[in-house]
Amino acid sequence: MIAPKTLSEKELEKLRFWIDCFKRMSLSENQIVEVENLDIFVSELMAELPIILAGGGFVLNGNDQLLMIHRRGFWDLPKGKLDAGETIEQCAVREVEEECGVSGLKIDSNAFHTYHLYTERNGETVIKDSVWFLMKTNHQSALVPQSEEDIEQAIWENIPVNTEKMNRAYGSIQDVISHFQDLLLRVN
């Protein structure tokens, strides 16, 4: 790692410590990292860990209900990894179609990013950069959860999403839902 000269020795030590923790995934929930220069810290962290790009959707039907999936014990939104040769928009639409059987999707927003760490099957810790879009559809057929992706259920949920479902969603998914719900309130 080549550390920028603008970080103090104390900040460099903290950066090395957290990168080591992230690589070993030896974290507890709700870790708080205080740094003097967040931009540099994040930039260095992203230079040290592989980044996986994914696309997903905050999908509304004709009744302004949100498409949600239940996977591995959590409420989630459809998303998946970018394939070679596709744009992030194409990826997001493809993943919603594959994971839920929804068709006729139209992107209706700029991109919104979330980031989280996870461990790949090979044991490598990676950063997932998920790019989210507000999408709309008039799809009326039954939803088809993709069981190969461990999706147990796909539903249309009224918004605002109820507290129980929000509390049983990952933090980054809560951020996505809050972002787009707020965006919808500002528009309407």
Q: Which residues contact 41 (CB under 8 A, 6 or more apart)?
A: 7, 11, 15, 33, 35
Number of folded domains that form the chain = 2
Statement: the pTM of the whole predicted model exceeds 0.75:
yes
179 with 99, same domain: the answer is: yes
Domain residues for the domain of 26 are 9-48
Is pLDDT of 58 > 60?
Answer: yes
DSSP 176: H
Compute the average pLDDT of residues 139-149: 94
Q: Is 1 inside a domain boundary?
A: no
Are 122 and 34 within one domain? no
Q: What is the mean pLDDT of the chain?
A: 88
Q: What mean pLDDT do residues 87-106 have?
A: 97
C-alpha–C-alpha distance, residues 31 and 18, integer Å: 11
**22 and 98: one domain?**
no
Helix (H, G, I), strand (E, B) or coil at 35: coil
